[in-house]
Amino acid sequence: MRAVTYKQIENYWLDLIGEDDIYARTLLHRYLVHLKNQRRLQTEINKMGVIDTVKNKHQQYTNPNKLLKEIRDIDKELRTIETSLEKLVISETPEETTERKPLI
């Protein structure tokens, strides 16, 4: 299964948000940087393995790979940026405005 290229992801979001919004473009740039870091870390984990083994003189410990925590943090940041971008897309689409009735 081939991964989606960064250019395809960028074009997808630019089609949704437009190219004029500087704030959205900055968010998109941050999103792509985090995505590159996530893919790089995932490659490192695939090479090194999920479990680290620490050996002392007479003892041996197994710990989860420290890169897993970094990937979780990047995933949280990616989700936050995605929701921000989705809010920008939703706010740009025209909505039907209903007239409010007076309170009195």
The CA dihedral of 22, 29, 75, 62, to the nearest 10 degrees, is -150
Say which DSSP state 53 is in.
E
Answer whether residue 21 is part of any domain.
Answer: yes
pTM for this entry: 0.75
Answer whether residue 103 is part of any domain.
Answer: no
**Locus of tokens 């090194």:** 48
Answer whether residue 25 is part of any domain.
Answer: yes
The total domain count for the chain is: 1
Cα–Cα dist 92/76, whole Å: 25
Q: pLDDT by residue (tens digit) across 10-44?
A: 998 888 888 888 899 999 999 999 999 999 999 99
Query: What residues make up the domain containing 77?
Result: 6-92
**57 pLDDT tier (thresholds 50, 70, 90):** confident
**pLDDT for 96:** 57
Q: 78 vs 104, which has greater pLDDT?
A: 78
Q: 85 vs 101, which has greater pLDDT?
A: 85
Answer whether residue 10 is part of any domain.
Answer: yes
Q: 3 vs 55, which has greater pLDDT?
A: 55
Alpha helices in 1-104 (DSSP H): 6-17, 22-48, 67-92
Strand partners, 54: 61
